[in-house]
Amino acid sequence: MAGTPGLFTRRAALKLLEAVLRRGETLEQAEGWALRDVRKQPDRALARAIASEALRWLADFDALIDSATKKPLPDDAKPRMVLRLMLAQWLRLETPPHAVIATGLPLLAGGPRRLAHGVFSTLTKKGVALPEAPTLSEAVAGRWGDRVSAIAVGLADPPPLDLTLRDASATQDWANRLGAESYLPGHLRLSRGEAVEKIAGFKEGAWWVQDLAASLPARLLGQGEGRHVFDLCAAPGGKTLQLAMAGWNVTALDLSKRRLGLLKDNLKRTGLKASPVRADALEWEPKHQFDAILLDAPCTATGTCRRHPDVLHRIGPRQIEEMVDLQRALLDRAVQWLKPGGTLIYAVCSLEREEGEKQAAAVKLEPAPIVTEELPEGIEPGPEGWLRTHPGMMPGRGGLDGFFIARWIKN
């Protein structure tokens, strides 16, 4: 077994899948220990891809498995886990069935290998196929309501790679150089596949990775002209870099030492300036008020489901409620720290109304509605002047992360 090529990679994928579905860990949390026996970067990437596709299409894989068994397997049964990975490789990663069997069945050593082999063989002989878009669980569909079908379309494939340029005036030059599309000045969209560190411009800090939707909150503050902005919950720093690039005097606060380290690394790489502060925003007090505050609040991150499909299975009412309480406390403090006449932007990378629309409705400041001219083509604000994006937007162009963004002025 140990000598089977690719077995360690599949075993790592199984560990990732079990970490998410059995223990509620994120894929990122599980990678440190689950991938420790997988040394080569392509093999590590493959393990992540197998687990991610299993999570992305979980309901559909389970329906196929159930169609080929007399009695349904328990949700957390190891044969079901392994079959999910086997189907992900065959139906999503186009791995030949014989290779899937050779690396999948050894994961059930001492267990019901004949069962798994029989189920997989039945499905391959039938030539089964997946729907055009993943089927989302009843719990997720219940929360997302009439948006769920459109969102699901955007989850069918992993997202492309978005970059934000340090020099927006060089957008066309970089687009030509990298063979990229651009949907706003300073934005580039590339196909997936190449390691970020190997893309031209990385070492010299010409750009940073940032989903197009994630770049919108900072864009909506406009040019800083030396004014003071507070980037609350700032790490890993994409919005801090944007604000510094736009001429703001940036104070960037975050509680996480590790994530704040990433922010400092990004500042060093790009040559942009900001003032990082490590502190708990619920206890810290500034020495002065700010001309603008950007609160990209901690959230359930369900809007990142196309690149982090684990959120489709980890997040429920308890996690949402915890985030709502924290967001409300941070909003209250942000309002206190804002100068009269200052601008507040609230954003979350969540698809949950409790974290977005319901939070915005409780803010007692003068609305500063977001307008169409500030947004990428094809993206429109809602009637309240708030912005809601989701993965199914911009069809044919790669979609967007799910974000909620609102803006106000303090009188």
Please give the full DSSP string across 124-137, using - where no structure is assigned: HHHT----SSPPPP
The answer to whether residue 210 scores a pLDDT higher than 60 is: yes
Average pLDDT over residues 267-291: 96
Average pLDDT over residues 291-319: 97
Nearest CA to 302 among 283, 282, 271, 323? 323
- Is the CB of residue 89 less than 8 Å from the CB of residue 58? no
The 10 Å Cβ neighbour count of residue 340 is: 8
Tokens of 202: 């990385």
pLDDT at 109 (0 to 100)? 84
Residue 2: pLDDT band with limits 50, 70, 90: low
- Is the CB of residue 124 less than 8 Å from the CB of residue 16? no
CATH T-level topology, domain 7-126: N-utilizing Substance Protein B Homolog; Chain A (1.10.940)
Outline which parts of the chain fall under CATH 1.10.940.10: 7-126
pLDDT at 111 (0 to 100)? 79
- Give Cα 320 to chain centroid, integer Å: 16
What does the alpha-carbon distance between residue 129 and residue 392 come to, in Å, rounded to a whole number?
22
What does the alpha-carbon distance between residue 295 and residue 289 come to, in Å, rounded to a whole number?
15
Sign of the torsion angle spanned by Cα atoms 258, 260, 263, 268: negative
Residue 397: pLDDT band with limits 50, 70, 90: very high
The answer to whether residue 3 scores a pLDDT higher than 80 is: no
Per the DSSP assignment, residues forming a β-bridge with 294 are 231, 345
The answer to whether residue 1 scores a pLDDT higher than 70 is: no
Nearest CA to 105 among 123, 121, 124? 121
Q: Within 13 A of 86's CA, how many CA atoms are on the CB side? A: 31
- Is the CB of residue 370 less than 8 Å from the CB of residue 387? yes
- The burial of 94, by beta-carbon neighbours within 10 Å (0-12 exposed, 13-18 middle, 19 or more buried), is given as exposed
The SS3 assignment for 293 reads strand
Beta carbons within 8 Å of 379's beta carbon, 6+ residues apart: 387, 389, 393, 394, 400
Element (H, E) at 240: helix 238-245
Put the strands of the sheet holding 187-190 in their side by side order. Answer: 187-190, 161-165, 207-209
What does the alpha-carbon distance between residue 406 and residue 411 come to, in Å, rounded to a whole number?
17
Tokens of 373: 């001219």
What does the alpha-carbon distance between residue 160 and residue 150 come to, in Å, rounded to a whole number?
18
Average pLDDT over residues 174-199: 95
The SS3 assignment for 232 reads strand
Average pLDDT over residues 329-344: 98
- Name the residue with higher pLDDT: 313 or 4: 313
Outline which parts of the chain fall under CATH 3.40.50.150: 212-409
Residues 114, 118, 121, 122, Cα dihedral to 10°: 180
Tokens of 171: 């957008």
The SS3 assignment for 381 reads coil
What CATH number does domain 212-409 carry, 1.10.3720.10, 3.40.50.150, 3.90.1150.10, 1.10.10.10? 3.40.50.150
The answer to whether residue 258 scores a pLDDT higher than 60 is: yes
**In this structure, which amino acid lies at residue 34?**
A
Residue 106: pLDDT band with limits 50, 70, 90: very high
Peptide bond into 236 cis (omega under 30): yes
299 is catalytic: no
Task: Write down the catalytic residue from 233, 299, 305, 349.
Answer: 349
CA distance from start to end of the chain? 69
The answer to whether residue 373 scores a pLDDT higher than 90 is: yes
Q: Within 13 A of 110's CA, how many CA atoms are on the CB side? A: 1
Tokens of 156: 């069918």
| Mean pLDDT of the chain, nearest integer | 96
The answer to whether residue 194 scores a pLDDT higher than 90 is: no
The SS3 assignment for 168 reads helix
